[in-house]
Structure 1
Amino acid sequence: MLLSTRCSAVLLALALPSSAAVAAASAPFSSSDPRHARLRQLERQASDLFDSADYALSMSQRTRDAWSRLHDVAMKVKVSGKPHPLAGVALVNLSSMDQIDGKNPDALARSSEGLSLLAPFADAYPIQWMQGLSIKGYVQVALGKVAEGAATLRDASRYMDGYIARTPADRLDKDAHMLRSNIAFSHAQALTRLGRNAEAVDAQRASMEARIAAVGPNSADAIGSYYTYAQLLSRAERDAEAEKYARLAVDVATDHVDRRHPSYARALEALGLLLSRTGRRAESLDYLQRAIAIKRETVGTDSLYFQFGLQNLGTVLLPLERYADAGPLFMEAERGFRKIEGEHSPQSARALAFAGSASLAEGRRDEAVERLTMALARVRAGSDKDRDIGQRVYPYLIPALIGTGRMDEARTAASAFATETRQLDNAPAFPLAQAAMLSDWTAQQVGSLRESAGRLAGVLRDSAGMTDNGELTEEQRAALDMVLAVAAQTQDAALALEAMAVLAGSRIAQANRLVAQRLTEDQALAARVRALQDRVRTLEAADSKLLKALATDRGVAEARADRGVVAAAVEAERAAIARDYPRWIEAQGGERPDMDALRAKLGSEEALLAVMPAFDGVYMLAVGPGGTRIARARMDRAAMVALVDRLRASLTPKGFDRTAAHDLYRQIFTPDIMATLGKARTLRIVPTGAFASLPFAMLPQSPVAAVERKTPWLIRRFAIEVQPGFAIGATSRRQMAARDQRFLGIGAPQAFGAQAGIQSESGGAPMAAQHYFRNGGADSRALAELPPLPGSLAELQAVAARFGAKRATLLVGAHASEAALRDRDLSPYGVILFATHGLVSGEMEGVAEPALVLSPPAAGATGEDGLLTASEVATMRIGADWVILSACNTAAGDGSAKGAAYSGLAQAFRYAGAGSLLVSHWPVRDDASAFVTLETVKSAGRGLPRAVALQRAMLKFIESERPDAAQPYIWAPFILMGR
């Protein structure tokens, strides 16, 4: 008899005998011996019942009795002094029924006994032998004996390979290949649970190849193998290959499978989750939303399959800070899980916990406490052993309780969190550090609180460096929020700086993901990065050991010494990479800042202000003549972000939301912050998140009734320089006088589509960068729709005239091309000005990355598409003292207030060697761009600091007679971006 179809579908796990057991089958034996016809008749009777289409009958006591009758009779029939092997076959099938019924201990006992009876005759009953071992391996894993199960399944895979090899091809049917696929699948899953991801990939590939042999490459079953293989490749950090197979699954599903088949939606979902994991969350949303729509249509909403889809989509929205969208999804999933699984559903508790974290991020602390407490109580009522939900709930619940003044409840929760975390086997460093800090915080132990908060910040700093895209999870940002709250409470500036550096570094790495990818095409660097990541994993293990030792007060000295050795090795490797590959370090967020070094590098009239949203709060760190100050804004993060959105949305050439602008000023520039900034005349601002899109220069220092030339904008108080991180270049960097500089101007390019006669029909602003890419390259038709920039040529000519004909070079029209730049030595130019369209987007994903639009390539040209992308810029060698990007929207991450901290385009010029950059927050009016650019260059040429030169240019424009010159929309988009 072949393996039961039902068993194959339910178990997805088929194992085989050990080599020792197989070797025991030495006695001559024939399964068709006529003397045993009665036993074979009993086997057929039991098999017919078990394979019945009537599920109730197949799993009935009648079927069990049939297998038991076969076992009892076969035990009395002796073959070479041993019970007939059909006694073992009967037990194997009874164990299968036990496993399907969820009776795993019974299934393990019966499968083990059945295999013992079958072992001497395994080659005569290979399918049944493999069935028995599959059940044994499966239930070993299910019962937590994962290593034993993996070993069983490993031997099963080897035996199956031998069985396939020695069986003639014409005798191998679909069932044999499917059996091989299921065995390898189960082995891969067990290996994954053991963290042996590379081996799991090999096992799943074998499963996929066998599945294709069984059902063909375009079947629904093959699709499942493709996306499962992609998932395991991703776990093994082979993301490029993973994406290939995840996309293959979607393509095959689209072309060959009815959309009602579960594999269709699952393929979309698998690709969406993979894209999310690799930092392309915006792109992933489309696939996840399509999957949910198909599930809603085909299987309805009363299935776990649908509820998990809702929850997956919500978890992707959380890191995008789309909490208002995520919350309802979690609550819908919570209701669905509870309806299906009952009031104590663990999945409903998890959905409720996710919804609680979204409530906290939105500033609704009471609602967060209610949801998180309910989630904890619900799962505990169902089981006293599920500590996973506590790990999800406590890090949000405890700060929410503290924020609502419920300190006694917070202390109780912190104690439970610490106890449960210590009881976890191999607890990671992150939850251990969280639990320790929250215990100290609720106990109001200020001395130890600083130490534990610093340890948590260090763990977060190291773990943030583990991901190639630099993205922080919401759990990590919530933990950083806690660290910053402690820093504000204790006024620990060094602690605040470390936490803020992690936040800023994450944003920088996100904006420069494609730049970093291009840099690591250098195999030597790639190997160094992998080695560093391996060392950081070792450091995380050492952190866990130390934190566990501190929690139990055992072995602390030894654990601390071991960690010190590992930490020194990590720092040495990081320093070596920084020395040899400084641009990669910058693209990943820069070197770690030091408060003393930062203060030393500030000029005598300079101050620094960091403005950063964390999770539910916005924090400011001021460093100036008045010392240091850490403060949390009175408004929650959600309210502050809403203010930035209001201000950005209200900006027009004729006005803006004056109330929102002044409210932002009052929230950020509090009396304590202003006292710390003191009499500084230049302010370096380090903003992240929504505040990277905030034009600080236009914040009014007092309420504004009407815009006038003398309105007290912040630009009147400070010359402002914005920087993405805390690295401050040496103040001694040489600033050449204009007479000694050479100038290169690139812009006014030939329009795309001009040669083909495509006419632009657009007079509006450029769209997001993704609109201009197709199939990995520039989309000429979309680029032909870009609106003209009539003032760009005049701007270039005016600035060039300032330098003089002998020191100025212009590349305009058809000469403003990638080829012209590639063939030119850029190192002699002190000032480089691009006057053209800049394409940016909030989510620089896939092939779409920020770019400057140049002229279309000449016919037959290879290796260029007319777009100078950020990753291409990063590989250039630029010696310019500064670069001016007089292009549309070259500063902001996107048109909303949630973009990354300045586009990778601007940062790429820094990595290429530029000193400072003059960029813009939104499309700039041509005459304003030319005026501000020229005046800034002139003033800087006379020796003024660049920030002061820009300040004077702005103020001069405001006071000019040009139309609407005093309106911030016209003059405020310009920012000076420093190193």
Structure 2
Amino acid sequence: MSLLVGGSVTVFAQSPELLKSYQQAVAFHKKGNYKEAVSFFQKTLKRGEMEFGPDHTISADIMNSLGEAYYAQSRHRKAETFFNKALAIRKKNLAPTHRDIAQSLNNLGLLYADLGRYGDAEEFYKNSMTIYEKALGPDHSRVGTSLNNLAELYRVQGRYAIAEPLYKKSQAIFKKTLGSESFALANSLSNLGLLYYKQGRYAEAEPLFKRSIVVKEKTLGLEHSLVGESLNNLALLYFGQDRLSAAEPLYKRALEIYERTLEPGHGSVAIALNNLAGVYYKQGRYADAEPLYLRSLAILEKSLGPDHTRVATSLNNLAMIYNKQRRFVDAERFYKRALIIGEKALGPQHPNLAKSLNNLARLYKSQGRFADAEPLYKRSLAMNERALGLRHPDVALNLRNLGGLYTTQGRDVEGLEYYRRATAIHQARAAHGGNQSLGGLSEQKSKRYLFTAHVRTAVSVARKSTSDRDRLVSESFSVGQLTRATQAGVAVSRMAARFAAGSDSLAKTVRELQDSIALWQKLDVRLIKLVSATPDKRNRSREKNVRNRLEGLEAKVATLSNKLTAEFPNYTELAASKPVHLGAVQKLLRPDEAMIAYLVTKWVTYVWVVRRESAVVFPARVGRDALQDAIDDLRGGLDASGIDKLADLPTFDRTAAHKLFKQIFAPIDKFLIGARHVFVVADGALQSLPLGVLVTDKPEKEFKDFSGYRQTAWLAKKYALTTLPSVSSLRALRTFAKRAVATIPFTGFGDPLLNGPQGGTRGIKLANLFRGSVANVDAIRDLPPLPDTAKELLALSAAVNGDSKHIYMRKRATERTVKKTNLSNSRIITFATHGLVAGDMKNAEPALVLTPPAKGTTLDDGLLTASEVAHLKLNADLVILSACNTAAGDGTEGAEGLSGLAKAFFYAGSRALLVSHWPVVSDAAVRLTTKMLTAGAGVGPAVALQRSMLALMNSADKPHYAHPLFWAPFVVVGEGGNPN
């Protein structure tokens, strides 16, 4: 809407006091202070009617502005009254094609669109635009506003194909007439972003929302309600991608703005309450969500009336809560009321109605009313396919729900067809680069429920089929990979893509592109946090700096991408961590190798065994919670904390380890005959336990000394085990990431200069290790020294004929040295030191401890963090991380295993890693790693580690090393096979 109407300023000039009063009202309106604006417009109107009469055009101008202020408060009846009065006066006094009549028609169109009177709204918009085009010309900004508003109307109605070109036409007019920094353009960009969001075109929507925020804050200030609107829209996008941690602060910030600048009963407050409640609903916080939904509903019913579409949306959302709480009567009543409202306001084919139908069907399904649910699901599907297209995420949701309806009734063959179609939609979205972005990876993870249901149904059908069994096993194997959208898996794929580039210059371009994208993502997350802050905590100069860097990176990424498209067209295909067909995996395996892949679901754990000539899948009857409890119990027997003497060693429950073996491994053991080396793709809690500690034979109940551990039938004795971050990692490592041709056999860093008391383990848990972004070097200096690591590094180097000049210890073992040394020519690289566990501090990164400098800087503060590791340039066959818990996640909430240091070293360029699952005892670590390299001639890292473990178990001088706490923490991740 526009407040100052052309043609009235001359009349206002006749009354300076009236002009001053009007301008004060306009100022309040522009600031979003609508309550004061209404008050001043009322006073101005009263004065104007006294001076010029109630039927004068200036009275109409003030009435129109007063109507706009009421509209901004969602006081629609008041707004309609004054819009109609203004229109009547203007029609009486002005020519039919006067621009002020067009403005009144436009404003009434906005009002009626808001009230769901779409037919009236369309008529008023078109009449308004016709007048503007005749009075002002087709390229005037008012014509652009009419086009935008008409496009908005079509978007709300689900007529997306008609709306999009109108948005773009309006934006072209705004750029030409108002410039690229105008509010009108920002508003239209945000609206087009909403269109893309509704179509599932998230990557196209995000930059539009962000641009809108920048321009609106610049033109309107930080606290304007229309800024809140754009913050809300960006949060909506993140919510759709299941990035709830990014969406929640933006929703809260939008709500704060609305509550500070608008009336408590304003519709925007209701929308913000509804959206924040949606986050709580997804998080399972129903008690927090319900009161927000109820507040939202009360506001909307009062401001818009009981039959508005937004009321229907609110009713639908409350019904979802009641369904989850098994309050079925309340849920059904609200769903049906929402449907009645929607059908009346939007017509029987609108996509918003499809959502209500889908949800009511889901309610009937949960009540076992399958015959009632099926036609509603099918009607919802047909409506969404017609309105949104066949590849939209909402269509996939419909298909998934129909699949679930059929499988619940035992109609697995029918259900499987629907699951296949739903999975294909999300797989296609991931294939278009989706799983390479933060949002795309999060979106794919959020569909795990669908993928597990697809796997469950395919396996069920396969077990009943004879002719189609092999194809269904292959299908389930591919879909199972979609559930493991891991960061470490993506890192391996990206590393492999660089090595596949061929020439050094092209590989350098690939690395530059990948680094630029990673930095862009990191800065983007930082910017979201900055703009989510309240005004008193906003740092505009820092925001500007981050935005400038983002813009520079966007240009750089575009340039590099274009270059790779021309010179390395297969890059995108290679860099994507997408499912690998079963047959392709089999071709990569050697005769004495196997792959085991796990998928942990609520009630069942699926296990695939892949051999060169065969493949099977087995549903193990142990679910997520039981598996977590079993592994937590086993990990308790591997905890070295607080141990001062051998008598304090925890007893490892071998009986429990045998029970778990019988559940998740014994049923598939017969398919591993002839296998010596086994790749393991773990899932869920299994990521935190090396499978080597499982016990294959029922153990003796008691033993008097540590010889009982030595005689135990550990799985580690039977197989050499290698962990893979994903199934696709095997293809990446064996097809593209060829073995390094290095002239330096060994480079090592360790034995940092530390002054603390002597300690036996290499793990640290300090919450005071940072001061801002730079580590507290004094705290690092007080850590326990690790003199054993010097002996370890020298022995490791000698085992592979290394040169001592490439061993960096004591004063030479600094972070600066690591960053400045050319490591791309080293075949084996070792860090023997303390490891900082990420989980010790909220959102702290995992790190390796090196010799701290006198004063910490960003270049060198004594801690080599995971993000700094990712910037190293490696080309190594093996990186040994002889430190604490280096197999752990990156410290973020819900992080998967291997997402910390392991992911960073893969990305930097290592084909295999030796990492630990718990704090390692220093002397045992020295023996394990040195024996691994001396025993590794002619075999791969996995067999070498197995030999080293067995030797440690049988240590004559330290029989207690037979306890798995000492020999089992390390695992090989990546390429663990024989390099020859």
User: Which bin holds the TM-score, normalised by the shorter protein?
Assistant: 0.5 to 0.7
Amino acid paired to 2:889: G
- What is the match of residue 713 of structure 1? 714
- What is the match of residue 478 of structure 2? 498
Instruction: Please show how residues 370-769 of structure 1 align to structure 2 within 5 Å.
Output: 379-380=338-339, 382-384=341-343, 385=348, 387-388=351-352, 415-416=378-379, 418-428=381-391, 432=395, 442=406, 456-464=422-430, 465-467=433-435, 468-469=437-438, 470-473=441-444, 475-489=446-460, 490=462, 491=469, 492-508=472-488, 588-589=576-577, 592-613=579-600, 618-624=605-611, 627-648=614-635, 651-653=638-640, 654-655=650-651, 661-671=657-667, 673-701=668-696, 705=701, 708-709=708-709, 710-726=711-727, 727-728=729-730, 742-751=745-754, 765-767=763-765
Deviates more, 1:383-392 or 1:722-731: 383-392
- What is the match of residue 252 of structure 1? none
Q: Cα distance 1:149–1:521, how it changes in 2: closer, same or farther (>3 A)?
A: farther
Amino acid paired to 1:812: M
Superposition deviation, residue 191 in structure 1: 2.6
**Partner of residue 946 from structure 2, selected from 947, 951, 958:** 951
Deviates more, 1:423-432 or 1:520-529: 520-529
Is the Cα–Cα contact under 8 Å of residues 603 and 731 in structure 1 kept in the other structure? no
CA distance in structure 1 between the aligned counterparts of 2:254 and 2:107, rounded to whole angstroms:
37
Cα deviation code 1:330-349 (max 9, x no counterpart)? 55655655666689853353
Deviates more, 1:156-165 or 1:775-784: 156-165
- What is the match of residue 855 of structure 1? 851
Q: Cα distance 1:72–1:618, how it changes in 2: closer, same or farther (>3 A)?
A: same
Is the Cα–Cα contact under 8 Å of residues 762 and 786 in structure 1 kept in the other structure? no
Is the Cα–Cα contact under 8 Å of residues 186 and 215 in structure 2 kept in the other structure? no
**Partner of residue 810 from structure 1, selected from 801, 807, 811:** 807
Cα deviation code 1:667-712 (max 9, x no counterpart)? 31242x2222234333211113332212211123356645732233
SS of the aligned residue for 1:711 comes to coil
Cα deviation code 1:384-420 (max 9, x no counterpart)? 5565586699699889969x99976786676455434
Superposition deviation, residue 953 in structure 1: 2.4
Superposition deviation, residue 885 in structure 1: 1.0
Identity of aligned residues (%): 24
CA distance in structure 1 between the aligned counterparts of 2:771 and 2:378, rounded to whole angstroms:
54
Is the Cα–Cα contact under 8 Å of residues 345 and 382 in structure 1 kept in the other structure? yes
Amino acid paired to 1:655: T
SS of the aligned residue for 1:888 comes to coil
CA distance in structure 2 between the aligned counterparts of 1:684 and 1:652, rounded to whole angstroms:
26
SS of the aligned residue for 1:940 comes to coil
CA distance in structure 2 between the aligned counterparts of 1:643 and 1:683, rounded to whole angstroms:
23
CA distance in structure 2 between the aligned counterparts of 1:529 and 1:400, rounded to whole angstroms:
50
Q: Cα distance 1:117–1:641, how it changes in 2: closer, same or farther (>3 A)?
A: same
Is the Cα–Cα contact under 8 Å of residues 777 and 865 in structure 1 kept in the other structure? yes
- Please say if 1:970 is aligned against 2:971: no
Q: Cα distance 1:822–1:351, how it changes in 2: closer, same or farther (>3 A)?
A: same
Amino acid paired to 2:682: P
Superposition deviation, residue 786 in structure 1: 4.7
CA distance in structure 1 between the aligned counterparts of 2:372 and 2:215, rounded to whole angstroms:
55
**Partner of residue 795 from structure 1, selected from 779, 792, 796:** 792
- What is the match of residue 534 of structure 1? none
Q: Cα distance 1:660–1:783, how it changes in 2: closer, same or farther (>3 A)?
A: farther
Is the Cα–Cα contact under 8 Å of residues 834 and 885 in structure 1 kept in the other structure? yes
SS of the aligned residue for 1:954 comes to helix
- Please say if 1:347 is aligned against 2:306: no
- What is the match of residue 928 of structure 1? 924
Cα deviation code 1:89-116 (max 9, x no counterpart)? 7666766765676645445545655676
Superposition deviation, residue 950 in structure 1: 1.9
Superposition deviation, residue 481 in structure 1: 0.9
SS of the aligned residue for 2:486 comes to helix
- What is the match of residue 900 of structure 1? 896
Q: Cα distance 1:785–1:461, how it changes in 2: closer, same or farther (>3 A)?
A: farther
TM-score by length of 2: 0.66
Superposition deviation, residue 479 in structure 1: 1.9
CA distance in structure 2 between the aligned counterparts of 1:732 and 1:185, rounded to whole angstroms:
45
Q: Cα distance 1:501–1:701, how it changes in 2: closer, same or farther (>3 A)?
A: same
Q: Cα distance 1:336–1:689, how it changes in 2: closer, same or farther (>3 A)?
A: farther
Cα deviation code 1:808-831 (max 9, x no counterpart)? 842101211344345555466543
Cα deviation code 1:876-928 (max 9, x no counterpart)? 55455432110111112268995324135324444555453221011111111
SS of the aligned residue for 1:724 comes to coil
**Partner of residue 939 from structure 1, selected from 922, 929, 935:** 935
CA distance in structure 2 between the aligned counterparts of 1:289 and 1:485, rounded to whole angstroms:
39
Superposition deviation, residue 498 in structure 1: 1.6
Superposition deviation, residue 634 in structure 1: 2.0
- Please say if 1:884 is aligned against 2:897: no
Cα deviation code 1:775-825 (max 9, x no counterpart)? 655554564565543432233244445557867842101211344345555
Q: Cα distance 1:898–1:922, how it changes in 2: closer, same or farther (>3 A)?
A: farther
- What is the match of residue 44 of structure 1? 59
- What is the match of residue 553 of structure 1? none
Cα deviation code 1:320-370 (max 9, x no counterpart)? xxx6x54554556556556666898533534664897xx7xxxxxx96999
CA distance in structure 1 between the aligned counterparts of 2:479 and 2:190, rounded to whole angstroms:
37
Q: Cα distance 1:373–1:732, how it changes in 2: closer, same or farther (>3 A)?
A: same
Superposition deviation, residue 307 in structure 1: 3.8
Instruction: Please show how residues 257-272 of structure 1 align to structure 2 within 5 Å.
Output: none
Is the Cα–Cα contact under 8 Å of residues 231 and 251 in structure 2 kept in the other structure? no
Amino acid paired to 1:791: D
Is the Cα–Cα contact under 8 Å of residues 192 and 208 in structure 2 kept in the other structure? no
Superposition deviation, residue 312 in structure 1: 4.9
Cα deviation code 1:599-649 (max 9, x no counterpart)? 233333322111123677532111248932213332333443444345445
**Partner of residue 280 from structure 2, selected from 311, 314, 321:** 314
CA distance in structure 2 between the aligned counterparts of 1:58 and 1:859, rounded to whole angstroms:
58
CA distance in structure 2 between the aligned counterparts of 1:504 and 1:669, rounded to whole angstroms:
20
Q: Cα distance 1:958–1:783, how it changes in 2: closer, same or farther (>3 A)?
A: same
Is the Cα–Cα contact under 8 Å of residues 184 and 207 in structure 1 kept in the other structure? no
Deviates more, 1:816-825 or 1:49-58: 49-58
Q: Cα distance 1:445–1:658, how it changes in 2: closer, same or farther (>3 A)?
A: same
CA distance in structure 1 between the aligned counterparts of 2:661 and 2:327, rounded to whole angstroms:
29
TM-score by length of 1: 0.67
Is the Cα–Cα contact under 8 Å of residues 643 and 660 in structure 1 kept in the other structure? yes
Instruction: Please show how residues 152-231 of structure 1 align to structure 2 within 5 Å.
Output: 183-195=184-196, 209=215, 212=218, 217=221, 219-221=222-224, 225=227
Query: Structure 2 unaligned runs (5+)?
Result: 6-21, 33-48, 463-468, 500-505, 518-560, 641-649, 976-980
